[in-house]
Structure formats: C-alpha cells, structure tokens
Amino acid sequence: MSEEQNITLKEIIQVQGQSRKSVIPILQAIQEKYNYLPENLLKGVCEQTDITPDLIMGVASFYSQFRLQPAGEHIIKVCTGTACHVKGAELVYDAFGRALHLDPGKHTDKEGHYTLEKVNCLGCCTLAPVVQIDDVTYGHVGIEDTNTVIKSFENSHSSSANKLLPAHDATKTLQGEIRIGLGSCCVASGSEEVKNSVEVTVLENELDVNMKGVGCVGMCHQVPLLEIIPEGKEAVLYSKVQPADVKMIINRHFRPQGIWARLKSSVYNWVEDIQTDRSWEGVDQFELDVREKHVSSFLGRQVPIATEYRGAIDPLDIGEYKYRFGFKGIAKCLKEYTPEQVIEKVRESGLRGRGGAGFPTGIKWQTFRDQNSELKYIICNGDEGDPGAFMDRMLLESYPYRIIEGMTIAAYATGATKGYFYIRAEYPLAVKRIREALSIAKEQGYIGDNILNSGLSFDIEIFEGAGAFICGEETAMIASIEGNRGFPKLRPPYPVENGLWNNPTLVNNTETFAQIPFIARNGLDQYTNHGTSNSKGTKVFALAGKINRGGLIEVPMGITIREIIEDIGGGVPDGKKFKAVQIGGPSGGCVPEWLSNTPVDYQSLKEVGAMMGSGGLVVLDDTDCMVDIARYFLSFTQSESCGKCTFCRVGTKRMLDIMNGICSGKGKPKDLVELENLANWTKKGSLCGLGQTAPNPILSTLTYFRDEYEAHIHGKCPTGKCQDLIKYTIEDNCIGCTKCAQNCPVGAIPFAPYEIHVIDQEKCIQCDGCRQVCPEDAVLVK
Amino acid sequence: MIKIQIDGREREVAEGITILDALKNEGIEVPTMCFLENTEHFPTCMVCMVKDQKSNKFVPSCSTLVASGMDIISNDEEVVEARRTSLELLLSDHVGDCEAPCQTNCPAFMDIPLMNRLLAMGKFDEALRVVKKDIALPAVLGRICPAPCERACRRRNIDEPVSICTLKRYAADHDLNHQSSFLPEKEALNGKKIGIIGTGPAGLSAAYFLLQKGYQCTLYDKNPLAGGALRYAVPDDRLPKDVLDQEIALIEQLGAVFKMNQELPENALETLRKDFDGIIVATGEDNADFDGLKKKNRSFVTERNTHKTGIDGVLAIGSAIKPGRVAIRAVAHGKEAALAMDQYLSGAKIVGEVRMFNSRFGKMIQEEYQDFMMEADKGPRIETEGVKGFSLEEVKKEALRCMHCDCREMHNCKLRIYSDQYKANQKRFFPKERAPVRKIFKNKPVVYEPEKCIKCGICVKITTIHKEELGLTYIGKGFDVEVSVPFDSSRVNALEKTTILCAEKCPTGALALKEKD
C-alpha cells in the first residue's frame, strides 16, 4: 500500500468505524475513491479493523456495486430494466461496445476512459432506453446515439458551472413562482440545463420570482416540466422544455425589472431569437393546460395520497411541507392518540404492505409492539430493485418528510427506538435528499430526542444498499445492514420478533410509510373511501413501456388495468396493439389484453397469475415477444439469486437453460413440460420470496401465451425479437440511398448507390441499425 | 410439549426442537447434506424437505422448528419427488466422476484405480486382493484381456492409457509366485450344491464366487482338461498353460470338483436338476443344445443381468449366450451369475448385480489435463516386450501414471448415496456444456474439487467457527457462487486448523483427504 493509500484508508476507517458491520460503507468509500476495490486496500482493512478476509471478500463479491477489477475513468451504465429492455436496451449496450471498440469479453476501452456495464434499473422507465455516464443520465438513447451521448458527456464534464440565485428580496414585490421538476426522470431529460437556463434568465432580467425545484409530478412522459405561476394568476405548465425555450417562456409571463434589464432583455432576446431561429410560436407548442383533455385524464383519475401535493412542493423545503399539513399526522398522534389507538387506526384503515406481499400493516405493527426489548428497530425498505419500478425512488426523492413522518408515527405506535432508511445504491439523488431531509428534520425537532416535546425519541440513519435485488427481502436486508452477504433467513422467526442484531425489527415499504401520515391526519374515512373491500386506499404504480403517457401514477385500488392503460396512459403509441401488461416485475406475471378488465387489487391480480409486487406496470404491444419477456425476467432473478438454496440457485438456472434453448430455436415440445414442472418445484422448494416468485413470469406466459412458446419450438419467433430465429433482409422497395450501408457497424451491407442493397447474413449481427435508418421501411425482419 | 401430526399420527414433541429431530425421535430417517449438528442453521441443500399439510408448504426439516398443529408428511410420493428434484438439480451442477471410467468400462467392474495406487506403493498383496474381489483369473486375463478399461482410461486423452492389463498381471504373477497363493475367505458351507457345465472362464469364475458363498460346486466338461477356450483356443505364446493351470488349481483348492470328459446329453439339465439346487450353463461358443433352453443364432436366450434362462434354477453365461470369446466378459458373467444364483437360492429377489448411482462427466477436455496430471507420473506408457511383464521399478512407475479419476469419497458421498436411494437421474438437468473440472492441491492434505461442491456451506461455517486466519468464504453469488479462499487462493495452507475437519464434514467429494486408501 502506498503512503497515500494508507492515509486514505485510515481516514475511511476513522469515519466508518472498525467493526464488522462497517464493511459495506468502508467498501463503498474505497470504491468511491478508486472506482474499484484494490486488493491491497482490502487486506489493509482486515489488518486495521475487526473485519476478516472471508467477510470482506464474501461481501465484496456479493454486491454488484463493487468492482474487484480496475475500471475506466468513467462508467457507462446501460439500463436493462424492463422498460428499457422492451425498447431495445440490449442493442444499445452492444452499440456502446462497438462505439468504445471493446475487445470481446472486455468491458473497459483500451485507453481506460470508459467501462461499460449493464445496470438493472435506473428507475427512469419512461425515458427508456436510459444510459448513465457517471452521474449524468441520458434518456431515449438509440443505437445511433452512442457517440453523441459520449461527446455530450465529455462536453458537460469539462464545463459545469452552477449559478446561485439570490434569495427573494422581501422589500420587492414578488412577481410569481417558477417550478422545475427535479425528479430523476426530469433530471435525465435535461431539467438541470433548463434550471440553469431559468437561473440565467432570472438573473439577467432581474426578476423577483421564487425559483423552486419540485419533486416528481408523475408526468414523466412530458419531462422536463416547467411551471410558471405569476402572482395572482393561473398556473401554466410547459412540457418537454428545452433550455433554449426558457427565455421565451419566462418573458411571456414576467416583465424584466429595472430599465437596463428591460432594455437589455428586449434587445438581447431579439438578437438571440434571430440567431437561434426560434420564434414565439414555439412556446404554445410546449404549453400544457391542465384542463386540456389528455393532461386532465392523466391526472384526473388519480388520487394522490402518498404523492399528495405533487409538483407543488419543494422536496426539501420543510416549511412548505408543514404549510401543506406536514407533520400534522405525528402531532395529532402524539397529542390525541395512545400508541394502541394509532395501531388500531392503521389496522382499521385496511392498509396492507405496499412492498408486494400485502401483509396487513396494522397486524405487523401490533406484533412488533408486543415485543419486549430494549432495542427495537424500524427499517424503511427503499431497496426498490424491480426492473421497471421507480415508485420508491420518486417518493424518496420528492416526499422525504412524508416518509420520515410515517416512520416517526410508526415509532410512536410501536415503541421503536431507532430507524433506518435502506436505499438502493442506484438512487443517489434519493440518498442525497433523504440525508438532507433527515438533518433538517432533526434540526427542527421532528426526529431525534424528545420529538415535539412529547418525550418520544427516535432517530433515523441511512444505510445505502450496494446493488443486490435480494436485499429487498426483509431478512436479507437485515443481513446487509449487519454487514453480511444478503442471504435471507428462514422465517419464522420473523424480523418483527427477531431481526436486526437479534432485536425486534419492523420492515415496511417506503410507500407504506408514505401513506401513514394521511391516515393519521385525516382519519379513516377519507382513506377507506378509496379502494376495494380487501385492498384499501391507493397504490402508486410506475407506468412504462409501450404507452403514450408513462409516468408515476397513484390510483385507487380496484381501478381496472384497462382504465390505467387507456384513460391514464392514453393507450399504446404508434398505432400498435395492446397485448399484455407485465405487473409486479420479476415476481409478477403478464396479464393479457383480454383480462384487462381485471381490477387492480391484491386478490384479483393473484387470481390472474400476477401480483401487485412493488408496482411496476410495463405495457407490451403486439411487437413484443412474450417468450423473450419471460426469459428476460427469469434471467434477472437468476442473476439476482443469492445462491443459497438449491431450487433457486440451480432451478432458475436450469429453467433459463431451457428458455435459452427455446429462444434459440433448439426447444423441444417436452421442454415445456419440464419447464412447468421445474417452475412449480422452484416455487415450492425455495425459502424466500425471490425463488418462490421467480417462476411467475414463466408460468403466466405459459398460461396465456403458450402458442408463442410452441411457435418458437417450431423455429419461429412470431414478433421477430429472438435473434437466433430471425433474419434481416432488404426488400425490393429499397431505393439505394445507402443509409443502411453507412450505418452498418460490421460492414454486412455492401455500399451500392441506386441499387437494391443486400445483407450479408454471415456478417449481420442483428443490431437493428439498418431497419431503423431505412427511410422506405425496406428492411424486414423475418 | 406441543402436539403435531407426523405422517398422520398425533405426537407430543418438545418445543424448540427441529422437525428433523422430531422425526428422528420417531425413527424416521431424513436425508440431510448441508446440516451440521450443533451449529447455527443455514439450510441450503433442501434435500431434507418435508411437507407441512397445515400450511401446505414444503419446509427444510433441519432448520424449521416444530410448531403446534403442524401436520408433517415425511415421506410421501410428493416429498420423494421434492427430494429427487433437488438432488437432480444439485447433480446438474456437480461435475465429477464417482467411479473412474476404467472401472465402469471393465465388465467385471474391478476397482482399477485402487489397484493402481496399491501397486504404486508396492503393496502388491493388497492390490491382488482388490483384483480378486472381482476377477477370478487375473494372471490369465493379465495376458489376454482386450482391456476395455484401457480404452476408457482418461490418460489416453493426454498421451497413452495406463497399462492396466499388465499391471494386473504383475499383481497376479506376484501372488502366484508366493509359496501359498491368495485364497479368498469362504463362508461356511450352506449345504447347497451347484452344477456348472463348462470349465471355461465363465464356469470357473462362477465357481470361484459361489464357493466363497458356501456353495458346493461341481464342474462338468467334455474335454480332458479344464479351461475351455482358454486352453484350447488361445495359443501358448499368449497364454502359457502353466499360468492357466495354476489359477485353475487355486479354484480347485477353494473346493471346486471337476468332472472331466463328460459329454452331456440334451436332456442333461433335467437329470442334473435333481442332484443340484442350481445349474449354470457355461458351455462356450460351440455350445450343445439342451432341452428347454431357447436359442437364438446359436446362443442361449437369457435375461440381462440375472442370466436367467427359461428354466427355473438354470442360468446361462459366457460365450454360450454372447459369442466372441471375450474372456473378461465371461469372467464377469461368472461373477454376476454367482450373485444371481445366491439371490435365487437364498429366497431374495433375483436382480443380479445392482450398481450404485454413478455420476459421470463424460469426455475430459484439454483445460482439465493439467489438474488431472497433478497426481500422475508424467512419463510415457511403459511397454513390455513380449510376455515378460513389468519389473519392480516399472510396475511402480506405470501404476503412478494413473490420474486418480475416481472420487475419493465415492463410498461415503451423501450426494451419491441419496441419489441412489431416490433414483435421481443425473442427466435430467445436466447442461449441454459443462464447467471444466478442477483439482486444487494447495491446501494440504486435502484436495479441493470445486466442481463437485454443492455450496452447502458447511466448510465456510467450520472455518468461521474456528476463526481461521483466511478461512473460506462464498465468492460471487447466484449460480456462479463458489467456495474459495479469500484473496490469493493460491496461498498454500490457507486452512490451518480445520483442513481435516472440513474434508470430513464435506457431504461430497469436493473437499477430501488426499491420502485415503
């Protein structure tokens, strides 16, 4: 170890501690510094702490966040979540590989600038396909965009100037408020640049407005969003705003202050308009009136409870949260109810765990309350690992105080002594917001000692996950916080009896906590008004895939799948046919179009072979191959299995072998029998939820789309998605424009101007590039 | 005490015990592999699963505590299927041979690798005992055997097969040169008599094994001297007749009675059946007809494995049922027929020789040569000139060329024992492409064969409990998880205190003591 390394390591250990439980934070700190985990440092950790070699290597090799080999300067992560998958993420990944000239089997370019990785889900599903370079996210990345993205990153990387706006001067008249969406989707679609542009305009025009970054509005299909609220006038929402549009939009609503500013503004803006060739007409195009039909149907069917006041509150502005009835729930509980009464209320509300299984929250709380122990923990499960789901991310980013309040109410009701946020490594913004929110809430006495002078003491800490889907399972999550590999434990004993460090531990989902303050504050009726007899209240879903208006939605339980897709989502785009919706991610199933009148509640979804899961809704159209979708989910769970139990570790692998055989045209009729058999045994023979539900996508597609499996066995992929079963050809309507030949990354199409082009099947890698660039739709997949 | 149902019977069991213990107390055996007594439960293998009808769930009995009202089914068809499926899944990721290919390819199923190791150590008498457990005429076969074992020898992929046949001959010759040669132990006479027609390799072999079981054997032959085709069809330069005589003499010493120059009539079976409890027909390739014995293409028709003919108590073996005069096959038939006859006469079910479950990984690939050669002498195959046989140095060196393809734990591997018991099919989920087999010798005195590991976690647990400085850990996750030494796995003696314990507790042959024999 070099002297420099030694000093770094000492500092890290100083901050993170010397005990075994610090192993994950220590590894994260080392990787933050070196982009990977150098072996000599790991050995150093073992020498200087209680951490042993078996522990550190076991942990470092378990979590996908950790790299044991050196990586490039920057990491390109191609999201392969469900929504991205159905929009061709694999092809994008391959395209980046070609753009970086990676050698086969290598993931880092020769210069060591970039390392290419796949990432399970970045939670920006409406912008699929999504690519992240370091902390910059790019949405709608096509296979032809690889070089643009890399260039754009290199440019942004060299110049990053953040301007600071002066606070509102109380002596001046406030002209109004400008709200900018700063959820991850918005940021990925460029809202940071829009924000910069707003700041520049506001400064230049000496406007006196409130600038506010707001959390996710849920309308992720329209991002970036900009809302202008001139003082005393109606709000106007602008969608898909580009930085260049900002000046026009702002000038339309606010008069520059001061003569010089006004003069300067008119001249400069005029000049700039000519230079950039943009006219005022552009503005209307972006204006979104809330009363306009599609916006009102997107929002109209929704019932915001967990997402109350969305788009209106600055996630970190505690004053505003309080103004919007924040912390009224905990105050009311402390003042008016005994802990038993709070539990009673939660029980009567019918609230069930929003993490997927739907266990009644009140009963869980009661069992937890009944435990006699000096230490009792509450964990907020924010380890949203499902590909195609981003509810927790949005709630954590946008409503940190609401979740904190929910946890505090739980602490009061159950006698918990300490809380943890377990947040997924892939959600850096959520971690940042929660960290800040915790510190502000503590300052103001909403957590910590003697909360609101009630005598209640409850503090909350953040634990960052390290990239393991299995850690969403409560016993694995506890193992992870304890500093171990995320191996689930056999239940019973349940964590409420024996959990974190053998103390009673209540694990609830983020969304569950987000619903608590509403119930506590407004009483039961307002909550139980919504929902069905066995599923009360609302559920937040991430609506993505082949849908016109994807986004984050909160709907009353019992709404039908069709209502969600058609009314809220605006149906399937590009004139395609709605085929199925995948609900519940890798644990869920595919509900076919003809069952779309199924109401969304725990029971009904289970009956059709899906499950609520954490709330991913990925819409599939008639170009999606259901066998490929099933294989996609299985390959996800297979790679995320912790590897402990036989049925999950080997069973999912063998099912995947069979699926790979089917998708590559090597399937046999008896494979379907074996697949079903193995799926059923894997369900029965697995210890934790991951293995028990991993076969669901297979079983549900076998039930509803067996004909597609059979077609594959007969050597045909009906939708032309499975690479081994398809061929790209160019038809006679080719006009010889040579675009395909120019775009082919492997030279499989000889350059032949004004002639019909031909694809060399030997060379073709089926990257889909030619089909995408062909202006005549002459490239066919057969 | 709490009440639970076990296989439909109500039982009171102590609170806090596992289902496994509750079943044990009832005398119900449950297979376990990942279970290590007196340690924290960490169920992984799922072979111990039972069904709780109350919750309608399968649970690992080793770790699940009994709870009031449980309705446990320990062994119905579904439970058996669950266990079999888990075993088949484990087998699909268990790349290794139980028996070495040479042994499985030997018609007599002789333990060749063990013979080789004993010869290499100079333990010639012990080697001979191993040979004679399965082969009645090793000195003969050591000269004329077509050696199917050598065709299967994995060393053949690398250079040339081990000279198994000549090694066996050395063991046999060494024994024949003793003042008193080896005679196997004989059970007390059981009063039953067997008539054997034919004194060729098949008949002699049948007599050799039946005599050991306490039967009286009388052998009939039309020729004046015993040996059948060995005497009358094999030229002297290949098989000196004094060698044959010596081995026949040993069988005579064991108690065989020879009735020579007996040309038997077609109705002989009927007559002999009155004097003998069982008859074995081993009349060779040019066999005569017997009343009641069906023939097809000049060979008697028999049942596979048991060698039963259409007549009760009459078995037929050797070239009489399959022409070709393959001596090793005839000798193997003799052994099998002896077993079947014993089953018949002791009233057991006649099944012949039942071989245990055997894991095999097929053809060896290039990446594996190096690890397999770690234990072997690197030299070329030693050829002997003519009929000379090996010298003392040669035999040791040649025997050392054996690569120890057989599993060190083949007799006590739980995976094998349960796979046998539950009739698991290794091929069911076995992938088309398998992982290369590795043998790691760095942690003396054990051999680590990662591809045999079923990830039960016992060794990881042991090294943690005993606070090994480096210890063992799981590396990676999911299907690719591997048990390994943290950091530099090439470090010698990564295990300091627990090597032997780990090898002892390993339920398969993944971690095994190098010197076991």
Q: Give residue A523's pLDDT band: very low, low, confident or very high (50, 70, 90).
A: confident
Q: Which residue from A57, A490, A678 is facing B486, i.e. has the nearest CB? A: A57
Q: Parallel, antiparallel, or unpaired: how do β-strands B278-281 and B257-259 relate?
A: unpaired
Model confidence pLDDT, tens digit, residues A196-248:
888 888 888 888 888 887 777 677 777 788 888 888 777 777 888 888 888 88
Q: Which residue from A55, A640, A657 is facing B478, i.e. has the nearest CB? A: A640
Q: Rounded mean pLDDT of A278-299? A: 49
Question: Which one has a higher pLDDT value, A300 or B464?
Answer: B464
The pLDDT value recorded for residue B385 is 67
The pLDDT value recorded for residue A611 is 87
Mark yes or no for CB contact A62/B476 under 8 Å: yes
Model confidence pLDDT, tens digit, residues B245-304:
999 999 999 999 999 999 999 999 999 999 999 999 999 987 788 988 999 888 999 999
pLDDT at A290 over 70: no
Q: Which of A181-190, A526-535, B233-242, B506-515 has the lowest mean pLDDT?
A: A181-190
Which residues of chain A lie closer than 8 angstroms to B487, CB-CB? Answer: 39, 42-43, 53, 57
| Mutant choice from A55, A65, A639, A649 vs B, greatest count of B C-beta within 10 A | A649
Q: Rounded mean pLDDT of B503-513? A: 94
* Structure-token pair, residue B432: 């088309």
Do B294 and B310 form a contact (C-beta atoms < 8 A)?
A: yes
Q: Give residue A270's pLDDT band: very low, low, confident or very high (50, 70, 90).
A: very low
Long-range pairs of A270-274 with CB within 8 A, sequence gap ≥ 24: A272/A247, A273/A248
Q: Which of A220-229, A519-528, A715-724, B41-50 has the lowest mean pLDDT?
A: A220-229
* Structure-token pair, residue A774: 């062909």
Mark yes or no for CB contact A62/B477 under 8 Å: yes
Q: Which residue from B429, B469, B474 is facing A654, i.e. has the nearest CB? A: B429
Mark yes or no for CB contact A54/B64 under 8 Å: no
The pLDDT value recorded for residue A258 is 58
- How far, in Å, CA of B201 to CA of B229, rounded? 8
Q: Rounded mean pLDDT of B84-90? A: 98
Chain B residues 405-444 with a CB less than 8 Å from chain A? 429, 431
In one-letter notation, the amino acid at residue A541 is: F
Average pLDDT, chain B: 94
| Mutant choice from B95, B432, B474, B495 vs A, greatest count of A C-beta within 10 A | B474
Sheet order of strands, A131-133 included: A114-119, A74-79, A131-133, A136-138
Q: Which of A547-551, B73-77, B307-311 has the lowest mean pLDDT?
A: A547-551
Average pLDDT, chain A: 88
pTM of the predicted structure, to 2 decimals: 0.90
pLDDT at B402 over 90: yes
The pLDDT value recorded for residue A267 is 42
Q: Which of A277-281, A561-565, A778-782 has the lowest mean pLDDT?
A: A277-281
Structural domains of chain A sorted by starting position, each given as residue range(s) with its CATH number in brackets: 3-60 (no CATH), 74-158 (3.40.30.10), 176-290 (3.40.30.10), 318-524 (3.40.50.11540), 538-713 (3.10.20.600), 727-782 (3.30.70.20)
Question: Which one has a higher pLDDT value, A187 or A644?
Answer: A644
* Structure-token pair, residue B171: 């063991």
The pLDDT value recorded for residue A199 is 84
Which residues of chain A lie closer than 8 angstroms to B468, CB-CB? Answer: 54
Q: Which of A223-232, B179-188, B359-368, B440-449 has the lowest mean pLDDT?
A: A223-232
Model confidence pLDDT, tens digit, residues A48-64:
999 999 999 999 999 99
* Structure-token pair, residue B294: 């069906």
Which residues of chain A lie closer than 8 angstroms to B457, CB-CB? Answer: 644
- Chain A residues at the B interface, defined by Cβ less than 8 Å, are 39, 42-43, 52-58, 61-62, 468, 485, 487, 490, 492, 638-647, 649-654, 657, 678, 681, 684-685, 687
Q: Give residue A426's pLDDT band: very low, low, confident or very high (50, 70, 90).
A: confident
Q: Which residue from B63, B431, B471 is facing A490, i.e. has the nearest CB? A: B63
pLDDT at A285 over 90: no
Which residues of chain A lie closer than 8 angstroms to B65, CB-CB? Answer: 492
- A244's CB contacts (< 8 A; 6+ apart) are A197, A276, A278
Q: Rounded mean pLDDT of A161-188? A: 65
Q: Which CATH number fits domain B193-344: 3.30.420.40, 3.40.120.10, 3.50.50.60, 3.30.2010.10?
A: 3.50.50.60
- How far, in Å, CA of A27 to CA of A688, rounded? 27
Chain B residues 462-491 with a CB less than 8 Å from chain A? 463-464, 468-481, 486-487
Model confidence pLDDT, tens digit, residues A576-586:
999 999 998 88
Q: Give residue A165's pLDDT band: very low, low, confident or very high (50, 70, 90).
A: very low
For B49, name the nearest residue in chain A, comparing CA atoms only: A685
Residue B388: CB atoms within 10 Å: 9
CATH class given for the domain over B435-513 = alpha beta
Mark yes or no for CB contact A640/B85 under 8 Å: no
The pLDDT value recorded for residue A767 is 86
Model confidence pLDDT, tens digit, residues A311-368:
778 899 999 999 999 999 999 999 999 999 999 999 999 999 998 778 999 999 999 9
Q: Which residue from B60, B67, B479 is facing A643, i.e. has the nearest CB? A: B479
Strand ranges for A399-558 from DSSP E? 418-423, 448-451, 456-464, 505-509, 538-545, 551-556
pLDDT at A274 over 50: no
> Does residue B43 sit at the A interface (CB-CB below 8 Å)?
yes
The pLDDT value recorded for residue A280 is 34
For A643, name the nearest residue in chain B, comparing CA atoms only: B478
Give me the interface pTM, i.e. the ipTM: 0.92
Q: Parallel, antiparallel, or unpaired: how do β-strands B446-448 and B473-475 relate?
A: unpaired
The DSSP secondary structure of B233-262, one letter per residue, reads TS-TTTS-HHHHHHHHHHHHHTT-EEE-S-
Give the domain ranges of chain B: 2-75, 101-180+364-399, 193-344, 435-513
CA distance B463 to chain A (A): 9
Q: Give residue A171's pLDDT band: very low, low, confident or very high (50, 70, 90).
A: low
Model confidence pLDDT, tens digit, residues A744-758:
988 899 999 999 999
Tell me which H or E stretch contains A646.
helix A646-646
Q: Give residue A272's pLDDT band: very low, low, confident or very high (50, 70, 90).
A: very low
- How far, in Å, CA of A397 to CA of A390, rounded? 11
Hey, do B2-75 and B193-344 end up sharing a CATH topology, with the first three levels equal?
no
Mark yes or no for CB contact B463/A39 under 8 Å: no
Which residues of chain B lie closer than 8 angstroms to A37, CB-CB? Answer: none
Angle at B99 between CA B98 and CA B104, to 5 degrees: 140
Domain B2-75 is found in CATH 3.30.70.100: no
pLDDT at A277 over 50: no
Mark yes or no for CB contact B478/A53 under 8 Å: no
* Structure-token pair, residue A257: 């202050």
CA distance B455 to chain A (A): 7
Which residues of chain A lie closer than 8 angstroms to B85, CB-CB? Answer: 647, 678, 681, 685
Strand ranges for A56-175 from DSSP E? 74-79, 114-119, 131-133, 136-138
Q: Give residue B460's pLDDT band: very low, low, confident or very high (50, 70, 90).
A: very high
Mark yes or no for CB contact A58/B93 under 8 Å: no
- How far, in Å, CA of B472 to CA of B443, rounded? 11
